[in-house]
Amino acid sequence: LQPRRGIRLSAPAAIQVTVRDALNQALDEELERDERVFLLGEEVAQYDGAYKISRGLWKKYGDKRVIDTPISEMGFTGIAVGAAMVWLRPVCEFMTFNFSMQAIDQVINSAAKTCYMSAGSIAVPIVFRGPNGASAGVAAQHSQCFAAWYGHCPGLKVVSPWSSEDAKGLLKASIRDDNPVVMLENELLYGVPFEMSEQAQSKDFIVPIGKAKIEKQGTHVTLVSHSRPVGHCLEAAAVLAKEGIECEVINLRTIRPMDIETVEASVVKTNHLVTVEGGWPQFGVGAEICARIMEGPAFNYLDAPAVRVTGADVPMPYAKILEDNCIPQVKDIIFAVKKTLNI
């Protein structure tokens, strides 16, 4: 087929990819690239993963690279940390990060502290990953956000993706990192399709750990978020734009180390700050951002107090109507923006 004169035929540069498929691509590419990488966790192999993130990987790489474990987070996390200490690169999946509390001794005392206190001479190149925060109708024991918990701990890197590019790029960067990394995904995002650029489709694509992304430029107020609430911030920004309020939306991507410089530069421009997160308010990610802004040069540019939008300060109820009222909604973000702008 010859194109008519003046018409250029080319393949589309971007495609739609779900977060689930982006994570699967990242695991597949890294298992293929480095024979030291292996995946372990409950149902990751023969069942293709509880959320189908590891679909097809066991058939492709076999029992030694994709390993089903018993329901014992303490046990298989300890095995993974020990393997990382002898320079294998395990990816340790928790069926939900709520269950990582069973293995918090291995994550903090064994992985994070050993790597830090040895000045990296005992590297622990491991990724702890799985769904984090609220899903739908799974109550308190499956709905907690651990961004603040793990972001509190020296020796860990903590990442929290929103889009498919975030998920693929951050997982690949985490697997290649010589430090222990906690990757906090969101179950409700797994089936959501996002546009993936031609660059992100490359096997060499990574998202640098510790660098935030400005998802939308704006001049009146800075919205800072991570994971699923980034989408809520963009929805709120679209509504507010119709009223002449231009929000700058920042996707943190990384909780630790936090890219406070990008937030500061935005606050200097907009003079207003609203943080949005699904976790509890006390000692949360938003609280840390507000403290860092207050302690730094951007504080002098604020025209109003910073405002936090968070989850309710209660264990997650099971009833849907109560659950909806415990999770930040678009209307809550709009209210907070108008509050800080005094309109």
* Residues noted as catalytic: 73, 142
Residue 236 · residue 218 · CB < 8 Å: no
Please give the structure tokens belonging to residue 64: 């030694």
DSSP collapsed to 3 states, 31-94:
HHHCCCEEEEECCCCCCCCCCCCCCCHHHHHCCCCEEECCCCHHHHHHHHHHHHHCCCEEEEEC
Name the H helices within the chain. Answer: 19-33, 57-61, 73-85, 104, 113-117, 147-151, 164-176, 229-241, 260-270, 285-295, 320-326, 330-341
Place of tokens 């700050």: 273
DSSP 89-130: EEEEE-SSGGGGGGGHIIIIIIIIHHHHHTTTSS----EEEE
What are φ and ψ of residue 27, in 5° steps? -65, -45
Sheet containing strand 89-93, strands side by side = 66-68, 37-41, 89-93, 127-131, 181-185, 157-159, 254-256
**CA-CA distances (angstroms) from residue 157 to 37, 169, 177, 255?**
18, 15, 9, 8
